[in-house]
Chains A and B, each alone.
Chain A
Amino acid sequence: MGEQRAHRPGRVGAVPDVHERRAPSGTASPSTGLSPRPQGPAIVSTGGSNESFKLTVKGNARPSAVPLPDQTEERPLKHEGGLPLWPPAVPFAGGLIAYGLNRGSKQTDARASEQPATEALIAAPGLLAGPAEVAGGVVRTVAKRAVVKTLGAIAITGVAAVGVLVAGGTAIILTTNYGLNEMIAAQDKYNNAIDTHRQDRPSAAGAPGGLPTNNVQDDRPIYVVRGGEATPLNLKNNIDTKIHPSGVPGFSVQSQAGLTVPQLSASGRFFNKRISATTVARLAAVGVRLAPTSGIGYHKTAVTSRPLSNADAARISAAFDPPIPNPAPNLARGSATDQ
């Protein structure tokens, strides 16, 4: 499970701290192309789950889209964040193209009174060339300057970059983390379900000698009840080798899927004032399986080894809860005494 959680996508903790990436002053690599460019705080917020959209503004003082004095066009693309540049670039380019279309349309309308409408239609494609070229140039500039390079981890966590708008040296990044926390919650629920199944499901190995075991049909625990206190000595003394036709040794219990501890206590007609209870899963955890055998109520035999060592007896005894008052004491004594 831990492994699953470690690899679980969408964990906020997976977002790298950009501050840790910043080269200390004076320690930057001689190869400026491999050194991270100075930058401000992370522009990605990992805020609460109730916020469907996060609007984060990168400060005006950092014109990230403008080349720095020490930068050249030949400098290799820095992309430490690992973010593909097409997500922000595509909507950005699309926006500029739309802007160009709109402007071209207005210019066409303005000339409509002077020229035939057919000419306007012919001229419209030409109007696209300018804005598209500008948009392409900006996209290339953005790509080369690696304006956004801290969103790499977010890209793989399901957070989608909606768009990038560059205006006057200010980068406004719209991101959405809708569904991120829901995804984490779903993963936790799934992991818990796996844990629950593992705890209550007996081993597929079954009982020694190929005896049938209790099969868990659902997530509810199958209780195992025994009259009296299941001390190690009590268990050792009460091992029976003749109770099962195959001679498999074990001690007697009451157990039946779907029945509660009081119901099992009643079926066993215990004379004891106290009872001990556990579950099939907990017995299986210490190597004990249940075998159906004839007897009073829902009699079963908890199959053990024989002779039962002190260590094994102690482990099995520890699998039981501390004794509790018998919820269904055998009342036959009163009626018999009155006779």
Chain B
Amino acid sequence: MSMIKILSDFNNRDEQGRVRLSTIGALRDISVHRSELREGLEVLLYEDEFEMIARLVYDLGMWKGILREETIRYYDEH
């Protein structure tokens, strides 16, 4: 089963470095997979330059992604 991909803004991180999945692009993708999301689920967060696996948590009324930085993959390197 393929990993859920969520368009993310990696500039938009909380003090703990978690990506807030509350941007327009992220909410658009989340709305497609809303029924599948759960805490602890690994998803693929992506933007224009790279993508990275993150683990979902629900905090303060929004989904957030805890980054697995070792999984980063730049599109121009592959």
- Residues on A facing B (Cβ under 8 Å): 226-229, 231, 234, 236-243, 251-254, 268-274, 294-296, 299, 307, 330, 332-333, 336-337, 339
Contacts and interface: CB of A to CB of B under 8 A. Distances in A.
Given A273-B49, A337-B70, A238 B13 contact: no
Contacts of A336: 68-70
A229 to B, nearest CB: 7
B58 interface: no
Given A228-B47, A271-B50, A273-B74, A238 B14 contact: no
A243 B20 contact: yes
Interface in B1-38: 7, 9-15, 17, 20, 22-25
A251 to B, nearest CB: 7
Given A228-B49, A242-B61, A272-B49, A253 B22 contact: no
Contacts of A295: 12-15
A8 B15 CA distance: 54
A336 B69 CA distance: 7
Given A226-B11, A295-B13, A240 B69 contact: no
Given A270-B10, A295-B14, A242 B49 contact: no
6 contacts: A236-B24, A238-B11, A240-B22, A251-B23, A252-B11, A273-B49
Nearest to A227: B11
A296 B49 contact: no
Contacts of B17: 269, 296
A238 B9 contact: yes
A243 B12 contact: yes
Contacts of B72: 271, 333
A237 B10 contact: no
Interface of B: 7, 9-15, 17, 20, 22-25, 47-50, 52, 61-62, 68-70, 72, 74, 76
Given A228-B47, A271-B52, A272-B49, A240 B12 contact: yes
A25 to B, nearest CB: 77
B70 A270 contact: no
Given A228-B49, A294-B15, A271 B10 contact: yes
Contacts of B50: 271-272
Contacts of B76: 273
A296 B13 contact: yes
Nearest to B74: A273
Nearest to A330: B69
A226 B13 CA distance: 12
Contacts of B10: 227-228, 270-272
Given A237-B23, A237-B24, A339 B11 contact: no
Given A227-B10, A242-B61, A242-B62, A296 B24 contact: no
Contacts of A254: 11
Nearest to A296: B13
Contacts of A241: 22
Q: Top 5 nearest A-B pairs by Cβ distance?
A: A237-B25, A336-B70, A238-B9, A252-B12, A252-B11
A270 B69 CA distance: 12
Contact of B9 (A252, A269, A330, A337): A252
Nearest to A274: B49
B25 A238 contact: yes
A238 B12 contact: yes
A269 to B, nearest CB: 7
A339 B23 contact: no
A271 to B, nearest CB: 6
A339 B68 CA distance: 12
